[in-house]
Amino acid sequence: MEVALKYRGREVTAGEVAFIRTLIAEHPAASRRALSKKLCEAWHWVQPNGAPRDMVCRSLMLELDRAGLIKLPPVRCRPPNNALKHRDAGTVAVDTTPLRAPLAALQPVAFREVRGTEHEELFRALLAAHHYLGYTRPVGEHLTYLVYAHDRPIGCFAWSSAPRHLAPRDRFIGWSAHARRQNIRLIAYNSRFLVLPWIEVAHLASHLLGRMAKQLSRDWEAIYAHPVYYLESFVDPTRFQGTCYRAANWQFLGRTTGRGKAAPTRKPNRSRKEVLGYPLSRHFRSRLCRIA
């Protein structure tokens, strides 16, 4: 059947567009949010944990509206922009006394998942103040961690959904475009990693990366009902050498194009990042390349 629009790997056919038009006509009083929920129900469009893909569905319907393929009802209300709200992460009091000790003296090191908890404010504030990229609110599937030693925060991790297109990674895995679209959710992207600047402990960063690799997939599955089989991150070589990643056995896969995901031209507009990856299973390729 004729494809009317492609959105985030999904091909929307002319028949599906006609179905959405009928859905809108049958519910003339429904809001955009209500229509999105009804479409998720009709298409059985849910996340692996059973929650409706409401935000993705709303974005798809908005794209169809912009393309002139459907006519959405007028916007009824504009909720506050949470991205702007969270951009100002605020400040919190934290012990900044220099900590110089051997790694063994910090044990046991604890990882606390803080997404949606009372500790998330501290996580945001530490990244905003001490990470060179600052804090930005993750989108899609994501987990955030504070790392503690003897009840004192020493570091932060942020993990989120992986970029959909990443040439060095895609070549390394060897998956098809179909498999990538279906299984990209099985990769976690390390968007932020911070050891607080007053923590001076040799080999701590690579130790934390190794500990995180043992825990992340289990935590991801508990929340999103599916594991992750591969980890990836970017390192800006104009700032860092990625020593801790390499010491933790992460593998260099290549470099980005330097264009970003929304570059208006094919010319680089930022530094080219090193792409590093780490498999969580010996069978990561077969699991990532599998098509259901």
Q: d(Cα 257, Cα 272) in Å, to the nearest integer? A: 6
Do the Cβ atoms of 14 and 4 come closer than 8 Å? yes
Tell me, yes or no, whether 52 and 112 share the same domain: no
Q: d(Cα 76, Cα 30) in Å, to the nearest integer? A: 10
Q: d(Cα 186, Cα 115) in Å, to the nearest integer? A: 19
283 part of a folded domain: yes
Tell me, yes or no, whether 199 and 274 share the same domain: yes
Q: Please state whether beta strands 187-195 and 230-235 pair in parallel, antiparallel, or not at all (unpaired).
A: parallel
Tell me, yes or no, whether 98 and 205 share the same domain: yes
Which residues are 5's β-sheet partners? 12
Q: Worst-scoring range by mean pLDDT, 79-83, 105-109, 178-182, 254-258?
A: 79-83
Tell me, yes or no, whether 142 and 196 share the same domain: yes
Sign of CA dihedral 115, 81, 161, 235: negative
Tell me, yes or no, whether 46 and 97 share the same domain: no
The full DSSP string for 123-190 is HHHHHHHHSTT------SSEEEEEEEETTEEEEEEEEEEPPS--HHHHHHHT--HHHHHHHGGGEEEE
Q: Worst-scoring range by mean pLDDT, 74-88, 149-163, 213-227?
A: 74-88
Instruction: Calculate mean pLDDT across residues 130-158.
Output: 93
Residue 53's pLDDT is what?
83
Q: At 171, which CATH number?
A: 3.40.630.30
40 to each of 34, 55, 262, how far by Cα in Å?
10, 10, 28
229 part of a folded domain: yes
Tell me, yes or no, whether 100 and 218 share the same domain: yes
Tell me, yes or no, whether 35 and 155 share the same domain: no
CB-based contacts of 173, cutoff 8 Å, min separation 6: 180, 230, 284, 285, 288, 289
**How many other β-carbons are positioned within 10 Å of the β-carbon of residue 62?**
15
Tell me, yes or no, whether 42 and 159 share the same domain: no
Tell me, yes or no, whether 97 and 31 share the same domain: no
Residue 264's pLDDT is what?
56
Q: Which two tokens stand for residue 223?
A: 């929340």
Which residues are 159's β-sheet partners? 143, 190
73 part of a folded domain: no
Tell me, yes or no, whether 275 and 159 share the same domain: yes
72 part of a folded domain: no
279 to each of 18, 92, 193, 253, 270, how far by Cα in Å?
43, 36, 18, 12, 28
218: pLDDT strictly greater than 80 = yes
Measured between alpha carbons, how far apart are the two ends of the chain, in Å? Answer: 21
Domain extent, residue 225, equals 91-289
Confidence of residue 266 (pLDDT cuts 50, 70, 90): low
Q: d(Cα 178, Cα 144) in Å, to the nearest integer? A: 29
110 to each of 39, 169, 202, 247, 280, how far by Cα in Å?
42, 30, 18, 21, 20
Determine the 3-state secondary structure of 48 from DSSP.
coil
Question: What is the chain's mean pLDDT, rounded?
Answer: 89
* Domain end position, chosen among 66, 82, 109: 66
Q: Where are the alpha helices (DSSP H) in the chain?
A: 14-26, 32-43, 54-66, 82-87, 103-106, 120-130, 167-173, 177-183, 204-224, 243-247, 284-289
Tell me, yes or no, whether 59 and 114 share the same domain: no
Percent of the chain at pLDDT > 70 equals 90
Q: d(Cα 37, Cα 31) in Å, to the nearest integer? A: 10
Instruction: Calculate mean pLDDT across residues 45-74.
Output: 86
Q: Worst-scoring range by mean pLDDT, 110-114, 137-141, 159-163, 279-283?
A: 137-141
* Domain end position, chosen among 66, 100, 119: 66
Residue 80's pLDDT is what?
54
Instruction: Calculate mean pLDDT across residues 37-63.
Output: 85
241 part of a folded domain: yes
Tell me, yes or no, whether 109 and 254 share the same domain: yes
Overall number of domains in the chain: 2
81 part of a folded domain: no
